[in-house]
Amino acid sequence: MFRSVNVVSGETLYERAAQPWPLFARDLTGLREQQQHFAALPVTGRTALLSAFADRLAAGRNRLAHMVCEEVGRCLRECEAELDKSVELIRYYARLAPELLAHKTIATQASLSQVCFEPLGVVLAVMPWNYPVWQVLRFAVPALCAGNACVVKPAPSVARVTAALFDLAGTELPFQAAWLDHEATLQAVAHCDAMAFTGSTDTGRHLAAHAGAHLKKTVLELGGSNAFIVMPDADLQQAATDACYSRFRDAGQSCNAAKRIIITDAVADRFLPLFLAECAKLKTGHPLDASTTLAPLHREDLRLRVHAQVEDALANGATALCGGVLPEGRGWFYPATVLDNVTPACRVYREEVFGPVAVLLRARDAAHAVALANDNPFGLGASIYSADEVQAWKYARQLTTGAVFINRHTSSDLRLPFGGVKASGYGRELSEFGLYEFVNVKSYWQK
């Protein structure tokens, strides 16, 4: 069952049954036929259809943002930002795709030799709940530009937003939702031509193994436990402000947030009061309230999982500098929590914490800070705060991550590739590199 619930009131907003496999198989046949016609259009014809979708999405921005706010629980302004970035994403690729997908002539002994970018066919996406518009479009828009069809299996708890998004997409694009249960999703992986997945590492391993058995191309954007490194010469106030924002935005439910705050001993006593002062400014409240800066978590089981990680840390010697108490009352709220004295004995040292909990790790010096950052299964992103940019770049090259930000918190930029290494997955989204993930890079040679 796909069911959307208001995260504060508990009211059911929308529900629908899972789609039987025979019905999906029929839709998949029709989608394949549509994809052939769509791929035959010039790139500018495809991008014109996407630009029209961007206009419809912009017109529906406020309505969809409210839906995301109610179903996911994030602050309304954060949901509005998600919609704005999604519209910008479509327009970005609509501008650049004709150039990026143009045939490239390569000089060889042939009279003509070229490299062309051709679609793979139908790409299945299995998507999460936390950014139900952005993450769907982050995968789909470049894949559609290349001439693929896209079919999206959404998270069950954001069904209403998903239905509204595909209503706006219309029928001219080969772009459909797949209301599949778990077993039918595995069947769909086998019957589609490639797969994109965003979600947990464990589920990503399971789906990728199944896709691999059928030799399907995959891109996995999995969890993250981003290090936020504060070097001895850092601007401590700026670092404290940015660390608080990055860790607690979206109620901490972002793979790309700062999760492990690594502070060198030389500045720990000065940084911590500044960081805690920023945390104290956070205001818990209803996500539709403009003054709220810390909204509830998405589901009760997710809140309990976060609290269990906090309790484990406390039982293994960590201390809570703030928060750490499960609140009573309606809504799945959790306080901003800062854990100090965290050691490898604590689960939070190695696990991703998907909620408003900052893990503090203390480093002897800069080299130890980099070692602590790398001592983790994940490798999505990291930040380094330092006044010495030359040294910061040196340490950045030593970090095993998909991205490093210097004197800024981690984020995504349409113009730069997004993705990770290790348990954070493989493949890239965004920029031209994301566009080339779901194409057949095909060589032509003419005597």
179 φ, ψ (degrees, to nearest 5) = -90, 75
Quick one: DSSP state of residue 429? Answer: B
> CB of 21 within 8 A of CB of 29?
no
Structure-block tokens of residue 218 = 């995959």
Judged by phi (left if over 0) then psi (alpha if -120 to 50, else beta), residue 160 lies in alpha
Residue 300 bears catalytic tag:
no
Dihedrals φ, ψ of 3, to 5°? -145, 125
Long-range CB pairs of 234-237 (<8 Å, 24+ gap) are: 234/267, 234/271, 234/385, 234/386, 234/387, 235/385, 235/387, 235/407, 236/267, 236/270, 236/271, 236/274, 237/274
CA distance 17 to 20: 9
Number of H helices, E strands in the chain: 15, 20
| Annotated catalytic residue 221 | yes
**Dist CA 120 CA 255 (whole Å):** 28
Q: Distance between CA 401 and CA 424 in Å, rounded?
A: 9
334 backbone dihedrals φ, ψ, rounded to 5°: -145, 135
Q: What strands, in cross-sheet order, belong to the sheet with 439-446?
A: 104-105, 112-119, 439-446
The residue annotated as part of the active site, out of 145, 255, 279, 346, is 255
Cα(149)–Cα(172) distance, rounded to whole angstroms? 11
Which member of 78, 82, 221, 437 is catalytic?
Answer: 221
CA distance 380 to 313: 23
| Residues pairing with 122 in the sheet | 149
Neighbours of 224 (CB within 10 A): 28
- The single-letter DSSP state of residue 156 is G
Sequence-distant (≥ 6) Cβ neighbours of residue 310 within 8 angstroms: 320, 324, 337, 339, 348, 357
- Residue 108 and residue 443: Cα distance in Å, rounded? 12
Q: How far apart are CA 2 and CA 12, in angstroms?
A: 11
- Positions annotated as catalytic residues are 221, 255
